């Protein structure tokens, strides 16, 4: 997100591609995770971690209170943080090979730098979280954008194939153009690729990534509106609690922070919002806080001794 924000402010044409891997968390019939565990862990850790993804089970309870233990039978479960970490270790080396193949397509990478913490040479254009991959690339025009997206798809798909993995064909691509003729280039990129069966993926001004919706330029207001709408839902879901004076104010504030403010502000470290957008979020939050504390935060300002409290 930060890289895209910098490219937008520098008025540099670019695309952001979002890839999704079909068989991301391999089933017990696939050897990718088992091979990685054998290489990195000795017994008994190897057997324990193998059991974690090969013998995953879940407990299901119905509305009558009866429960059943189900064997998942499909490897590590989606949403399992350990599964994502293990799969990331499996996929990492293959993604490195994919980037090497992209360079072989004479693609210019202006986003490589050295990590000041580890000293490793990294490509900031690539974001990898479990099986969700995002790649940013500088482009010249709509035609170049289409060619770059196709090169990306080929490079990554061919790199992960040895791991018995494959990409979904319907990737998402957000093109961003600036300057004179930018709107025409945007329309050409979106229309040509969506109407061409040979094009790579679905092109548009929005895309879903990591459970969120990523927007093209000047669309961050929709993100702020969605956050406020979700926070309103959380606020009204607990409306019976906010004025329940049998519950201490400190406890109600703690519940507000955990269940409402977290919905409003979670994940903002990954976004770059304008001052006006941040003010919208803060104004909503402070309006609810004033209702919650009922003015008690400003009643006692000076103590009996005349000192400011």
Query: What is residue 111's predicted lDDT score, i.e. its pLDDT?
Result: 76
Query: What is residue 155's predicted lDDT score, i.e. its pLDDT?
Result: 86
Per-residue pLDDT tens over the stretch 3-31: 777 777 788 888 888 888 776 654 434 56
Per-residue pLDDT tens over the stretch 252-275: 888 998 889 888 887 676 566 777
Q: Which residues of the chain have pLDDT under 70?
A: 1, 23-33, 36, 52-63, 65, 68-88, 105-110, 130, 194-200, 208-222, 267, 269-272, 295-309
Contacts of 88 (CB under 8 A, 6+ apart): 128, 129, 130
Query: What is residue 107's predicted lDDT score, i.e. its pLDDT?
Result: 66
Which tokens belong to 149? 């997206």
Domain boundaries for CATH 3.30.70.270 within the chain: 2-25+79-215
Query: What is residue 74's predicted lDDT score, i.e. its pLDDT?
Result: 46
Query: What is residue 196's predicted lDDT score, i.e. its pLDDT?
Result: 60
Query: What is residue 299's predicted lDDT score, i.e. its pLDDT?
Result: 45
**In this structure, which topology does domain 2-25+79-215 adopt according to CATH?**
Alpha-Beta Plaits (3.30.70)
Query: What is residue 235's predicted lDDT score, i.e. its pLDDT?
Result: 92
**CB contact at 8 A, 26 and 164:** yes
Query: What is residue 27's predicted lDDT score, i.e. its pLDDT?
Result: 44
């Amino acid at each position: 997100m930060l890289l895209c924000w910098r490219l937008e402010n520098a008025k540099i044409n670019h695309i952001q591609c979002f890839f999704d891997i079909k068989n991301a968390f391999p089933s017990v019939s696939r050897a990718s995770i088992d091979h990685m565990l054998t290489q990195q862990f000795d017994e008994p850790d190897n057997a324990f971690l193998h059991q974690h993804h090969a013998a995953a089970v879940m407990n299901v309870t119905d509305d009558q209170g009866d429960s059943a233990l189900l064997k998942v039978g499909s490897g590590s479960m989606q949403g399992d943080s350990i599964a994502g970490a293990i799969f990331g270790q499996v996929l990492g080396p293959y993604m490195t090979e994919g980037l090497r193949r992209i360079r072989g397509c004479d693609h210019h990478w202006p986003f490589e730098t050295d990590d000041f913490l580890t000293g490793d040479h990294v490509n900031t254009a690539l974001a990898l979280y479990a099986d969700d991959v995002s790649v940013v690339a500088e482009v010249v025009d709509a035609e170049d954008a289409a060619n770059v997206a196709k090169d990306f798809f080929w490079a990554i798909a061919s790199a992960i194939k040895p791991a018995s993995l494959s990409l979904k064909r319907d990737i998402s691509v957000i093109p961003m153009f600036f300057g004179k003729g930018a709107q025409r280039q945007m329309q050409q990129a979106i229309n040509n690729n969506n109407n061409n069966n040979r094009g790579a993926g679905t092109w548009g001004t929005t895309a879903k990534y990591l459970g969120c919706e990523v927007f093209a330029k000047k669309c961050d207001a929709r993100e702020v509106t969605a956050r406020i709408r979700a926070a309103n839902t959380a606020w009204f879901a607990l409306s019976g609690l906010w004025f329940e004076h049998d519950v201490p104010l400190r406890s109600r504030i703690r519940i507000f922070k955990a269940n409402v403010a977290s919905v409003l502000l979670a994940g903002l470290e990954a976004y770059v919002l304008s001052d006006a957008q941040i003010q919208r979020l803060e104004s909503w939050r402070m309006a609810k806080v004033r209702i919650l504390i009922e003015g008690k935060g400003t009643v006692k300002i000076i103590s009996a001794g005349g000192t400011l409290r």
